Amino acid sequence: MQTYIDKIKEIAARILKDCKVDMVIGFRNGTVPMMCEPHFAKSADEVDRLVWDSNCGINLANYLTDRKEKIGIVAKGCDSRNIVTHIIENKIKREQLYIIGVPCKGMIDKHRIKAMFDGEILKVSEDENNIIVTGADFEKVLNKRDVLQKNCAVCIHRNPVVYDELAAELVEEQSGIDRYADVEKIEALPSKERWAYFDELLSECIRCYACRNACPLCYCPTCFVDESRPQWVGKSQDPTDVRTFHFLRAYHCAGRCTDCGACERACPVGINMRVFTKKLEKDCKTLFDWEAGLSLDDRPPLDTYRPTDPDDFIK
Amino acid sequence: MEHMGIERDRLQFSWVSSAESTKFVEVVKTVTEAVKSLGPNTAFKKHLPKVA
């Protein structure tokens, strides 16, 4: 990890000094364990706070929307795919960016780790394969593989797809994993049970919109849930309104979602809303053979027409 | 919608030209039959007392 951090700092300091960029966006340690926050380094002396570990789950592409200056950005696999999506959607220009690619070995699931311990976790450190969790009266070593975020466990794009410079050697991509096991499990249920499954899933939702705010795709100036003229969706805690919000938000991410897991990570009550976006991601893969953010040259399926597009559902 | 638990036949898509009146009637008939056989919809209904 330290070699990653040193390299990131070295690149950041160099491109700032050479005036290649006006700002470098990376991660710094948060005020509590397992909560790295974004860091905006605008001068060489701010570079020192940059870090890299298994808690950098926030998607930094979120901070690029409509920026005018030149930006250096630390990008793991999913961030880089979201940067591609941003470029395709004209939210930033490729020329404005200096992408520091960071091959990623997965982020750890803070919800799951917190649930494992009764007391407050005071410190979380790590080495190559282990996570060491320390509290006031406990210390435990966990295997990193067992506490990965759910999306990281099934990730097949750990290496950045676009970058100007790498902070480390490319890592081996995972293969032979069933990416859609969770979606298939839901698909197998009869419709009544599916309805009940989502009712249960969303029952905790407090509609804080943290998932939306953490999502790099959700950059609309006014989100449909905040709009009151016309009011597209009710603002109450009624299960129908809650479900409409999650369902529509997922739809807005169709063909764009890279399964970076930022939404799930941001959720204060630990809802796995990825099961919505994951279904759409799976459909895009099977119907259009499309995975978001892999190429700057291909247009996404929802803004192109091909005569071979499936249309069996139109009777 | 289907994935979320709305019954398959409740949501239908069809392409009918303004010149295809017979097709329109057919579509309306089949859709109505399909939906009637499913019974009243219970999903996506707001219950007023809960809202108030």
Which one is predicted more confidently, A254 or B3?
A: A254
| 8 Å CB contact of A195 and B46 | no
Tell me what pLDDT residue A309 has: 87
Helices A239-252, A274-288: axis angle to 10 degrees equals: 40
- Mutation test of the interface with chain B: which of A240, A282, A309, choosing the one with the most B Cβ atoms within 10 A? A240
For A187, the closest of B3, B12, B50 (CB atoms) is B3
Beta strands per DSSP E along A42-193: 71-75, 97-101, 121-126, 130-135, 139-143, 165-166
Q: Which two tokens stand for residue A54?
A: 């298994």
How high is the mean pLDDT of chain A? 91
Question: How far away is chain A from the Cα of B8, in angstroms, using its nearest Cα?
Answer: 8
| 8 Å CB contact of B5 and A196 | yes
Nearest CA in chain A to B49: A238
A209 dihedral zone (left: phi>0; alpha: psi -120 to 50; beta): left
Pair A103, A77: CB distance under 8 Å: yes
Pair A159, A103: CB distance under 8 Å: yes
Q: Which two tokens stand for residue A253?
A: 């991410």
Predicted confidence band at B51 (pLDDT cuts at 50, 70, 90)? Answer: low
Structural domain includes residue B31: yes
For B14, the closest of A234, A241, A314 (CB atoms) is A314
- Mutation test of the interface with chain B: which of A191, A199, A245, choosing the one with the most B Cβ atoms within 10 A? A191
Predicted confidence band at B31 (pLDDT cuts at 50, 70, 90)? Answer: very high
C-alpha–C-alpha distance, residues A155 and A142, integer Å: 20
Helix (H) or strand (E) holding A41: strand A37-41
pLDDT tens across A216-246, in order?
999 999 999 998 888 888 888 888 889 999 9
pLDDT tens across A196-212, in order?
999 999 999 999 999 99
Structural domain includes residue B27: yes
Tell me what pLDDT residue A236 has: 85
- Mutation test of the interface with chain B: which of A182, A185, A193, A195, choosing the one with the most B Cβ atoms within 10 A? A195
Nearest CA in chain A to B10: A191
For B5, the closest of A192, A234, A279 (CB atoms) is A192
Residues 6+ apart with CB under 8 A from B46: A234, A238, A240, A241
What is the pTM for the complete model shown? 0.88
Polymer length of chain A: 315
Domain that holds residue B32: 1-39
| 8 Å CB contact of A191 and B12 | no
Mean pLDDT per block of 10 residues along chain A (315 residues) reads 89 92 94 92 91 92 93 94 94 94 92 90 89 90 91 92 91 88 89 89 92 93 90 87 91 92 92 91 90 90 87 83
Q: Which residues of A touch B15 (CB under 8 A)?
A: 314
Tell me what pLDDT residue B2 has: 77
Number of domains in chain B: 1
Helices A191-202, A239-252: axis angle to 10 degrees equals: 100
ipTM above 0.90, yes or no: no
pLDDT tens across A99-125, in order?
999 999 999 999 999 999 988 899 999
